[in-house]
Amino acid sequence: NSVDGSNEMVRTLFPEVKLIANQDNVGFSTANNQAIKESKGEYILLLNPDTIVPENC
């Protein structure tokens, strides 16, 4: 549901990324659940948009 061009930026700069682009704003939790269902890795890390990750943590 992005209107700022970030979807196209991700497609261009990070072609290896699987981008899930919803037509409507489904909310943070639903979007996370969509990503988790599509994930292939052993671990999943969810960070809220306002998370600050300290250096060297």
Among the listed residues 29, 11, 48, 13, the one whose alpha carbon sits nearest the alpha carbon of residue 21: 11
Residue 52 pLDDT exceeds 90? yes
- Whether pTM exceeds 0.95: no
Give residue 17's pLDDT: 93
Among the listed residues 9, 18, 12, the one whose alpha carbon sits nearest the alpha carbon of residue 37: 18
Give residue 48's pLDDT: 87
Summarize pLDDT for 3-50 with one digit per residue, the tens.
899 999 999 999 999 999 999 999 989 999 999 999 998 999 998 889
Let me know: does 7 contact 19? Beta carbons within 8 Å: yes
Q: What is the dihedral of CA 13, 31, 43, 50, to 10 degrees?
A: 80
Let me know: does 20 contact 34? Beta carbons within 8 Å: yes
In which band, very low, low, confident or very high, does the pLDDT at 57 lie, cut at 50, 70 and 90?
A: confident
